[in-house]
Structure 1
Amino acid sequence: MLPTIIIIIAIIGVIILWIISTQRKLVMLDENISNAMSQIGVQLSSRFDALTALLDLTKGYAKHESETLIKTIQSRRSVITAKSTPDDVQRQEGIISEALGRIAMVTEQYPELKANETYIKTMDAVQTFENMVRTSRLIYNDSVTKLNREIRMFPVSMIATMLGFRQREYLVEQADKANMPSMK
């Protein structure tokens, strides 16, 4: 009787340790996703700052257009945090793409703005931040893949369901970004 109780206790102990280990792994994967989303937020914030600097440069050429665009951006801009969704990121990137498109129209009307050294440097900074956002998106999607894969596998799927872990959405590339005119 005693060996049976020891075996049962050992089996229960192994199961409890496995559940704890699984929960810790799922938490780590979930935190990686939150961290990646936060990084996207930091990069988008930097991109918005560079965009605002770019708009300040256009004030000398198209004051009304620039001021209207700055007000629009300020009213529609929101901070991307660890709890943000891919849709939130898409909306913010849409605002940036729209602003860049309008800035491109202004620069086409004012070739001297396009040739301005500060404009060129600021545009390079906007592009640099875009590349950083792209990298952060790849890291986010990779983290989502790892969590989603883990959640879908049996027997982890049972533990994930019990503990409230769910599959996360991927960030998808916006189609209109590929069609953006060159800013240089």
Structure 2
Amino acid sequence: MNGLIIAIVVVVILVILGLWLAAMYNSLVRLRNLVQESWRQIDVELHRRHDLIPNLVETVKGYAAHEKEVFEEVARARSAAAAPGSSPAEQAQQENQLTQALGRLFAVAENYPVLRASENFQQLQTELTTTEDRIAAARRFYNANVRELNTKIESFPSNIIAGMFHFERAEYFEADEPEVRQAPQVQF
């Protein structure tokens, strides 16, 4: 009789351990998928930003055709930022360069009062600002999910399951320089 009770207790403990292992594994999978989904949202907003930039450049070009160097810089930065296959850290660096180039483009636009008054330019500027705000919100959501996943991967006892099933830490999407940590502010 004692052997039967011990066997039942062992089976119950193994079942509970198995259920706990499955629950921990599933929570890690859920967090990993949430991080991937939130990265896709950033990607959508970055594509929207990249699609707006050529229109903005063309609008400014019509008024400031002799500012060729600025236009080329924006085009190079946009091409680098729009290139697929970048890690979050690489994408952040490329987006920082694009933001700096856009800042120089807006500085050029400031020298042309007729351009600043242009309805098309104002609309593009508003859309770009809205997109920058959406990117910032998506970045906050993504980074919160990355933080949660990384904490789970590093915390005991879930770090054991994460190690067994090769879950890896995710990268944050961060701006490197203080001046690019905000959406471009242009006042006309």
User: TM-score band, normalised by the shorter chain?
Assistant: 0.7 to 0.9
Q: Classify 1:71/1:153 alpha carbon distance in 2 versus 1 (closer, same or farther; 3 Å).
A: closer
Unaligned runs of 5+ residues in structure 2 are none
What CA distance in whole angstroms lies between the structure 2 residues aligned with 1:56 and 1:66?
12
- 2:70 maps to 1:76: no
**Aligned partner of 1:176 among 162, 176, 179:** 179
What CA distance in whole angstroms lies between the structure 2 residues aligned with 1:179 and 1:137?
12
CA RMSD of aligned residues (A): 2.3
Residue matched to 2:26: 24
Contact in 1 for aligned 2:81/2:95 (Cα 8 Å): no
Show CA shifts across 1:74-102 (max 9, x none).
54233567xx5331231232232123122
Q: Classify 1:181/1:74 alpha carbon distance in 2 versus 1 (closer, same or farther; 3 Å).
A: closer
Alignment size in residue pairs: 182
Runs (4+) of structure 1 exceeding 4 A deviation are 178-181
Unaligned runs of 5+ residues in structure 1 are none
* Mapping for residues 97-112 of structure 1, pairs under 5 Å: 97-112=99-114
Cα offset, 1:66, TM superposition: 6.3
Cα offset, 1:44, TM superposition: 0.8
* Mapping for residues 12-91 of structure 1, pairs under 5 Å: 12-63=14-65, 64-65=68-69, 68-69=72-73, 71-73=75-77, 75-79=79-83, 84-91=86-93
Structure 2: which amino acid aligns with 1:23?
Y
SS at match of 2:82: coil
Contact in 2 for aligned 1:43/1:129 (Cα 8 Å): yes
What CA distance in whole angstroms lies between the structure 2 residues aligned with 1:79 and 1:30?
24
What CA distance in whole angstroms lies between the structure 2 residues aligned with 1:47 and 1:71?
13
More displaced, 32-41 or 8-17? 8-17
Q: Percent identity?
A: 29
* Mapping for residues 136-155 of structure 1, pairs under 5 Å: 136-155=138-157
Cα offset, 1:160, TM superposition: 1.1
